[in-house]
Structure 1
């Protein structure tokens, strides 16, 4: 499996110090930018208004399904809903990739396709977003978006 931050089971209670230490030991520190909203790719103009998070990317397997989550640097607080059925769709190097999967909405009522850009720093994430701009713009328009930005 080529997912980042593959974390083996620690056989510790979820949320315990040992569980958090296990995530911290195996997680990949990266800057993560979610590229979609409600399943639709957003253009760079909107993505730059959203927070970039530098945190631990942690991948785990449960009942044969891989998920990738984002935790704070201490490994104790999940920052984004995890990607279910996570997979790497594009990889530049060990720290630069695009992950895809599905994500629950905030009410855990519906799942949407989601993609994360993972980069070693905020600076490199901004550079990569610049390179992705035409591609993201095209997908936003195909998804029914309008380019009139507020």
Structure 2
């Protein structure tokens, strides 16, 4: 990882990347990003639409925050695809760094998250479910800076 220095103003001006919800899952995902095991993530188009956020573009940088909301890393989007959930491939699954060895295992784990109370509350849809046709945002990224080492 090439050294980058970001000022507090740089960090404050970047969008936040929040993986999962605060708690143990976010802590594991952030650790996987910082450790280099996690280089992809999956979002849902409906979540971006609900939040009024545009889909990321290649080259976009964002600040990864931990469960306490502290900036811990800067990542940069290197690739982006929107595909039906049924088309998520094993390479993407493995690069998510969550230890899944099959697409089916990944899908089961992610459906548990997407169908959970936190996600349904965030989408303001108590009956929200995904299926094979649900548009998924497959994002690849690289770690640009570990802000913990920078003392931020």
TM-score range, shorter chain: under 0.3
TM-score, length-normalised on structure 1? 0.24
Q: Which has the higher strand share?
A: 1
More relative contact order, 1 or 2 (CA 8 Å, 6+ apart): 2
